[in-house]
Amino acid sequence: MNQTALTEMRWRRLDGRTIEGDIVEAVARTLVREKAAGHRLKVCIGTDSQVRGKSVEFATVIVFLREKSGGFMYIANYKSVQKMSIRERMILEVGRSVEIAYALCNLLDEHKVELEVHADINTDPSFASNTALKEAMGYILGMGFVFKAKPDAFASSACADKVC
């Protein structure tokens, strides 16, 4: 996904309300609003996918966690008709999460907001998704982000999973 594709993604809230404009600008407005309300935030980004017939449906989420006060998320859904292995799909999920994290990292640093990238990959070798664990971990850590995998990767394995 290039920068143009990133800005063309359609983002929404869980209740279905569309997030207007560029996602980076929307996140900036959110950070200012939440800070003004006295909230300390952490942001977790994750992607999940589901194979449905001949297509793969993806959901990427930006989860805003308010310290001791709940949270909320922004969601982008998209489809691919490209046939891919489980390993390829896991790496594509991670790649999409990293691209969003990369687009937001300077903004989050500026506002002193902690960032984690969550991968919907199981650390147990008996699960198929484990085939991509080392690559995903290397990619995320190599980009300088905090990496979380199952069972700690709630942004991808719980939040994105529910909206995929």
pLDDT in tens, 85-129: 998 999 999 999 999 999 999 999 999 999 999 999 988 888 888
pLDDT attached to residue 109: 97
**Residue spans per domain, the chain:** 3-163
CATH topology of domain 3-163: Nucleotidyltransferase; domain 5 (3.30.420)
What's the mean pLDDT in 122-143?
90
Distance of alpha carbon 130 from its chain centroid, rounded?
A: 19
How many C-beta atoms surround the C-beta of residue 31 within 10 A? 21
The phi and psi torsions of 143 (rounded to 5 degrees) equal -85, -5
Q: Can you tell me the distance from the alpha carbon of 6 to that of 141, in angstroms, rounded to the nearest whole number? A: 21
Please provide the average confidence, as pLDDT, over all residues in the chain.
92
Q: How confident is the model at residue 2 (pLDDT cuts 50, 70, 90)?
A: very low
Closest by CA to 62, choosing from 74, 49, 78, is 74
Q: Which strands sit side by side in the sheet containing 55-66, from one edge to the other?
A: 11-13, 71-80, 55-66, 41-52, 114-122, 146-150
Identify the helix (H) or strand (E) that includes residue 162.
helix 161-163
Question: Would you give the end-to-end CA distance of the chain in angstroms?
Answer: 18
pLDDT-based confidence at residue 1 (cuts at 50, 70, 90): very low
Evaluate if residue 5 carries a pLDDT over 60.
no
Tell me what pLDDT residue 8 has.
64
CA distance 122 to 29: 34
**Tens digits of per-residue pLDDT, 54-74?**
999 999 999 999 999 999 999
Q: Is the confidence at residue 6, as pLDDT, over 70?
A: no
Q: Give 4's pLDDT tier (boundaries 50, 70, 90).
A: very low
